[in-house]
Structure 1
């Protein structure tokens, strides 16, 4: 795309960031936090998550400005910093994690409808899977008509879906009960006997999930009207969404007992508003959720296809995924993305808690690419690479990138071994695409270090499959 008319403005890029982040996760926050902790623990969790993700957002901003030649940020930064195979794993992990995240959207949509139409159950009945399948392919063919059209729809949807969330926040502010908030502050009646550290740890993967999409502008940097808009859009989107998520988490504690919030059906935001204002509150939030999740799904479909397409253009995925149709849409990448989403949607039929599983697995898959981006930020700051301009920023950027690296490592550890092994089950066989691409170009498969990484992924895959087969890992 070369014409200005086909480029994305700061508003459109910011909408991609907000549209990517404000999706299924924000509507599930009251129950998720209510089941784990009270307001005090929630405040600590958001300080950790907000601080870590802000540092990561600043890394994306700095890299967008200092490495303008690297497009599709998450994948490109990993390859530039650590080599071909780590770069491939970043692209593949980010892509497959995003596909799984898209599945969580369909599960939540059907679970929401299940509150009014029992045939949808908790989002994983046969009817729910069939309806979700129709939706997958309707979106697929809409996107095939053009990226620019789909991005325009996303901007409109992003504005529309913020309204119910803001209304929810305003109603809970006006009905704020200080005594109820104080009663819940340390957990209130029936609080599980767990340490504060464990309470915070129980919320960590969901905080990662609700921040996924913070890199949306970076992924679409090649479409930006001005390169500087990429960093601005990232910070603007982060700040706005952070405020919304903290309020959605904390305000319900001033309306209802923590134990009651913990027992609510997902989407718990709808259940909270119903308890406060009556049945119309549930309907209102549920409609907002449907708009929100469909908008987020659209944004992530665009991002998934873009990551595969860019990896193929830089010779790190098979050439077939670099194909575009007449509307400049990466058609082969989009087809594979939706085939994978379809398969995961079908698999939810056998899951005990499909929504929670998809959230946690998406977060786990995305943390490896985020870690590599943060580490790349540390790498170029330590080397002084690209700091000929504004060299005084080098020390600050090194500190911020170090915080982002420590945060992503902490998140991987906090998520637990279970999700590391489940991630390996996907990473190891995904290497087939890497081998295909390397052989297609007659290039050496692995360096010695890359071979060690591959062996570790295969070992994790074997242990993960054994865990599933033995029942020690339950999905």
Structure 2
């Protein structure tokens, strides 16, 4: 019996998937994280953008050569073997659903500006739990539904975001920006490195189209275009908004904020601006969460089909989606939500995003290495060869730089988690061999 065919996305929806996943929550809450470093994080943004461009070119080229479901997982598997493919998917899958909990928290954080009772820890956890399950159920209904959700919510969110990015300069205070230059207590070089590591969260999702190759029309053409266009849109919005906000809101207020854009809107236009920003942030975060759940499901599905993940994750429902796998992830997200509960939403968001970034860097590194190896194996020459090798080197350098700027304790936790994958691999190895024989 054949599997149900998934509904597919065209170039516009794929571009919005990439841009929507990147712009998702970072644009609404990341300024609070960067405020722990200061406005010196402007340099971190430049480094992060350059690194994201390199990563975007890596995925654009790899998907052009051989688009495959699973993206980073598939590239690592084909280039470095099954074990590296397993580690890549393990890190990517864990990093993404951990990050999804942070996205769900943003929905609650902005909604608390409309319903203050959500600021309490128990109401916050309960409402966030409801968001996780509603989006998990909605995601199981098909890729085109998620593509339409991403497109609609991104276009809605761009209205207030661009308004603040442009009109906010009228309220920009250069003295305030300068006063909060480096509030981290670290040397400037260390502060820049830390901010570059934090800012990587903003560009997580650059691989969205590559991972979703199985549900995108004409992937060889549409994936590279969607990747680069989505990245360009996200970079412009992120940098402009971050600079403006740090010149309007004092760092000590910004770093503890659960809704930085709402705080800016309050200063600019009063209470009604807070309502508009909160609603747009809520809808955009809902769209982003739907998009990221799609990636989690597709990555696990690709690995499960190869026998490198539990078979249940590639079982498709009548909509052509890995419905059972999505429900399992929803359970894990629910458990993590309660385990990481913190008195303040900003602190819980910071913990989750830092862990997610560290885990996601691993498949990014493998993908960059895959591009270099593939370029050499194909015996490409001239500018194409040089460009691919330089792009891969730039992506590797950025990922290593971001790791150096990470919190030492969280880096240790991520390392232990990756080492644990070595113990799990033998469990899946025989199933993978059986799947290969069956193919």
TM-score using structure 1 length: 0.84
Report the CA distance between 1:313 and its aligned residue: 1.1
Report the CA distance between 1:6 and its aligned residue: 3.4
Point out the more displaced range, 29-38 or 103-112.
Answer: 29-38
**Alignment equivalent of 1:126, drawn from 118, 122, 125:** 122
Q: Are residues 1:362 and 2:356 paired?
A: yes
Report the CA distance between 1:193 and its aligned residue: 4.9
Alignment of 1:393-472 (within 5 A): 393-430=384-421, 434-440=425-431
For the Cα contact (< 8 Å) 1:172–1:251, is it kept in 2? Answer: yes
Deviations 1:293-321 (A, max 9, x none): 11100001111011000111122212222
Q: Distance in 1 between matches of 2:99 and 2:18?
A: 15
Compared CA separation, residues 275 and 319, structure 1 to 2 (3 A):
same
Dislocated runs of 4+, deviation >4 Å: 1-5, 188-193, 428-433
Alignment of 1:292-307 (within 5 A): 292-307=284-299
Report the CA distance between 1:32 and its aligned residue: 3.0
Q: Distance in 2 between matches of 1:208 and 1:10?
A: 25
Deviations 1:212-239 (A, max 9, x none): 1111111111222222110010000000
Deviations 1:305-339 (A, max 9, x none): 11000111122212222211121111232122112
For the Cα contact (< 8 Å) 1:133–1:342, is it kept in 2? Answer: yes
Secondary structure of 1:36 counterpart = coil
Q: Which residue of 2 aligns with 1:13?
A: 14
**Alignment equivalent of 2:372, drawn from 378, 381, 406:** 378
Q: Are residues 1:339 and 2:338 paired?
A: no
Alignment of 1:137-148 (within 5 A): 137-148=133-144
Q: Which residue of 1 aligns with 2:158?
A: 162
Q: Distance in 1 between matches of 2:96 and 2:157?
A: 21
Report the CA distance between 1:432 and its aligned residue: 6.1
Alignment of 1:77-226 (within 5 A): 77-121=75-119, 125-173=121-169, 175-177=170-172, 180-181=173-174, 183-188=175-180, 191=183, 193-226=185-218
Report the CA distance between 1:160 and its aligned residue: 1.7
Q: Which residue of 1 aligns with 2:33?
A: 32
Report the CA distance between 1:140 and its aligned residue: 2.1
Larger of the two Rg values belongs to structure:
1
Instruction: Give ranges in structure 2 of 5+ residues lacking alignment.
Output: 435-439
Point out the more displaced range, 309-318 or 144-153.
Answer: 144-153
Q: Distance in 1 between matches of 2:363 and 2:78?
A: 13
Alignment of 1:241-390 (within 5 A): 241-256=234-249, 258-259=250-251, 261-349=253-341, 353-381=347-375, 383-385=376-378, 387=380
Compared CA separation, residues 193 and 379, structure 1 to 2 (3 A):
same
Compared CA separation, residues 425 and 109, structure 1 to 2 (3 A):
farther
Report the CA distance between 1:61 and its aligned residue: 0.8
For the Cα contact (< 8 Å) 2:201–2:353, is it kept in 1? Answer: yes
For the Cα contact (< 8 Å) 1:29–1:248, is it kept in 2? Answer: no
Compared CA separation, residues 326 and 202, structure 1 to 2 (3 A):
same
Secondary structure of 2:378 counterpart = coil
Q: Distance in 2 between matches of 1:208 and 1:190?
A: 19
Count of aligned pairs between the two proteins = 430
Q: Distance in 2 between matches of 1:224 and 1:441?
A: 26
Question: Which of structures 1 and 2 has the larger relative contact order (alpha carbons within 8 angstroms, sep 6+)?
Answer: 2
For the Cα contact (< 8 Å) 1:50–1:242, is it kept in 2? Answer: yes
Q: Which residue of 2 aligns with 1:57?
A: 56
Compared CA separation, residues 322 and 367, structure 1 to 2 (3 A):
same
Deviations 1:95-141 (A, max 9, x none): 1111111100122222223344343226xx22222222222222222
Report the CA distance between 1:371 and its aligned residue: 0.8
Q: Distance in 2 between matches of 1:5 and 1:404?
A: 32
